[in-house]
Amino acid sequence: MSLTTSTNESFQYYHRLAGSTSTIENIAVDIDLANNLWRVMKQNDTDTAHIWMSHDSKLPAQDSDPLQLPSVPTFFPILENEMYSGTFSSLSSEQPHMFIPYLYLAIPNMYAFFHNCNIEPFMRVIDTSNLEQDENEMKHVLESKWDSRSDDRVLMRTASFGHGRQDLSACAREGTVMSSIQEERLAGEGMMSAIRNYSSNTNEA
């Protein structure tokens, strides 16, 4: 990705969540936090550069010098095509819930998620279809207490195991309601991953 000098250019800097689902291989979810944008990209091969940056680059060097930087391997270019894209709402103490309008998704208490890592295992991605015209029902759904029981509107929820801040997992509902995870709805998981990574690096949480 080549950077331009324009600060308004979208996706100059972004967080990426890449992998495969049960229905499609090699997709990536990109989150541009600065411009409130997301996109889902189809790739023609495994994104080895992304894997190296997110994992292998953090491994200790294979020699006696702990300050030695890891050597950068040769990466072959991959082709990408945009499948879906859209926006997401800004967060504040007055507007704590994040909305992803194109997908009819909402992530309750995303503002608190950014500032307080203790709520990370209790996040949910909610289907807001048919709620746009009913503010009272929308508020009820978004402000309902976390419950481990199944809920038709809860498409994804987080989980964390162990003491302290651990790896964060996301469980998506499949089966009778969703025969497979819809690729575009991975934007919800990508959003939480991007904000968690950003807050960790900036010590916000």
CB-count exposure of residue 105 (10 Å: 0-12, 13-18, 19+): buried
Give a yes or no: residue 23 inside a domain.
no
Give a yes or no: residue 9 inside a domain.
no
Give a yes or no: residue 157 inside a domain.
yes
Give a yes or no: residue 152 inside a domain.
yes
A 10 A CB-CB count for 168 gives 17
Give a yes or no: residue 78 inside a domain.
no
Give a yes or no: residue 150 inside a domain.
yes
- Is the pLDDT at 10 greater than 90, yes or no? yes
Using a cut of 0.85, tell me whether the model's pTM lies above it.
Answer: no
The pLDDT tens digits for 18-73 are 888 777 889 899 999 999 999 999 999 888 777 777 766 666 655 556 666 667 77
- Comparing 5 with 201, the larger pLDDT belongs to 201
Which residues span the domain enclosing 139? 88-202
| Structure token digits, residue 159 | 């989980």
Looking at the structure of the chain, the number of domains it has is: 1
